[in-house]
Amino acid sequence: MHQLKISNLSSAYGKNVVLTDVSFTVQKGEVVSLVGPSGSGKSTLLRVLVGLTAPTGGSVTLQGDTINYKNKNSVNLSRDRMAIVFQQYNLFQNMDVMRNVTIAPIMIKKRGRAEVEDEARKLLEQVGLSEKLSAYPDDLSGGQQQRVAIARALALKPDLLLLDEVTSALDPELVTEVLDTIRELASGGMTMIIVSHEMGFVREISDQVIMMDEGRIVEIGSPEDIIDNPKTQRAKDFFGKILRH
């Protein structure tokens, strides 16, 4: 069974169509990267998956269960299995790192504080921030804040992690520490869908690469197929431009 199956997914804001007939599958433990020009629908796709943007057609099946995006309970159940990390960290500035990571499991999932805090310490050690438990977001670098955001998402114990341009707001020297965290998650078998412009990283970490343009999928394949040997003219133009820089 596929961990995630997306079939003919579409979405629109009024007359502005942002996704058209998007279809692909994700297997457990796979890393799938979405690439393409800005405005091609990559981030919108992630927002649709977690119910932040409404689909106008198609279906999403997560571990055999079709998500009914018109039903709040169905969406909430899907969010128990999926977690998203955005480009902006969205940390609570008035809470320390420990509180940022534990607030959702304690307040929303009603789990015991001691157990959640113990798990949070392990997660923060995993992302290299075990010494920052009592620090506040303003005391952290951008890369550190993004790693806290990843730990916060992992604290929800998702089966599928969605990463939306998580390095694009960072200074170049901070990008590596976040990418190293994602590498470690991938090596541990975390299923992920990643939106990224870091093509070297995409080539290294991805099982599948999906190129999108104007809300549609242009090509799907292995990194070697898509990045090195694109078949469509649109993909050839896109990779030809970005790989020259």
Q: For 185-217, how does the pLDDT look when each residue is reduced to its tens digit (9 = 90+)?
A: 999 999 999 999 889 999 999 999 999 999 999
CB 82 within 8 A of CB 49: yes
* Structural domain contains residue 131: yes
Sign of dihedral through CA atoms 205, 177, 114, 88? negative
User: In sequence order, which residues have a C-beta less than 8 Å from that of residue 218 and are 6 or more positions away?
Assistant: 36, 211, 212, 232, 234, 235
- In the three-class reduction of DSSP (H, G, I as helix; E, B as strand; rest coil), residue 9 is classed as strand
State how far the alpha carbon of 149 is from the alpha carbons of 122, 124, 152, 166, 189, in Å.
15, 10, 5, 9, 19
Query: pLDDT-derived band of residue 101, with 50, 70 and 90 as boundaries?
Result: very high
Residue 69 has pLDDT above 70, yes or no: yes
* Residue at 70 is within a domain: yes
User: Domain check: are 44 and 93 in the same one?
Assistant: no
134 lies in some domain: yes
In this predicted structure, what is the pLDDT of residue 1? Answer: 66
Mean of pLDDT over the chain: 93
Q: 127 and 6, same structural domain?
A: no
Q: How many residues does the chain have?
A: 245
What span, in angstroms and rounded, lies between the C-alpha atoms of 168 and 147? 14
Tell me: do 73 and 111 sit in the same domain: no
Strands of 57-62's sheet, edge to edge?
Answer: 16-26, 4-13, 57-62, 65-66
146 in a domain, yes or no?
yes
What is the DSSP track for 24-39?
Answer: EEE-TT-EEEEE-STT
Q: Is 173 domain-assigned?
A: no
175 within some domain: no
The 8-class DSSP code of residue 148 comes to: H
Residues 194 and 129 in one domain: no
Mean pLDDT of 108-119: 93
For residue range 128-164, list pLDDT tens digits in order.
999 999 999 999 999 999 999 999 999 999 999 999 9
Rounded distance, CA 22 to CA 170, Å?
A: 30
Q: What is the pTM of this model?
A: 0.92
Mutual angle of helices 142-154 and 172-187, in 10-degree steps: 20
CB 209 within 8 A of CB 48: no
In whole angstroms, give the CA distance from residue 28 to residue 172.
Answer: 31
| 64 and 93 part of one domain | no
Q: What is the mean pLDDT of residues 18-32?
A: 97
Q: In this model, does residue 100 exceed pLDDT 70? A: yes
Residues 68 and 189 in one domain: yes
- What percentage of the chain exceeds 90 in pLDDT? 85
How far is residue 58's CA from residue 71's CA, in Å, rounded to a whole number?
A: 15
In this structure, is residue 140 part of a structural domain? yes
CATH number of the domain to which 5 belongs: 3.40.50.300
Residue 245 pLDDT > 90, yes or no?
Answer: no
Mean pLDDT within 17-34: 97
Question: Does residue 171 have a pLDDT over 90?
Answer: no
119 and 235, same structural domain? no
Domain assignment present for residue 179? The answer is no
Q: 10: domain range?
A: 1-80+162-168+185-245
**Which tens digits make up the pLDDT trace of 46-68?**
999 999 999 999 999 999 999 99
Quote the number of domains for the chain.
2
| 71 and 189 together in one domain | yes
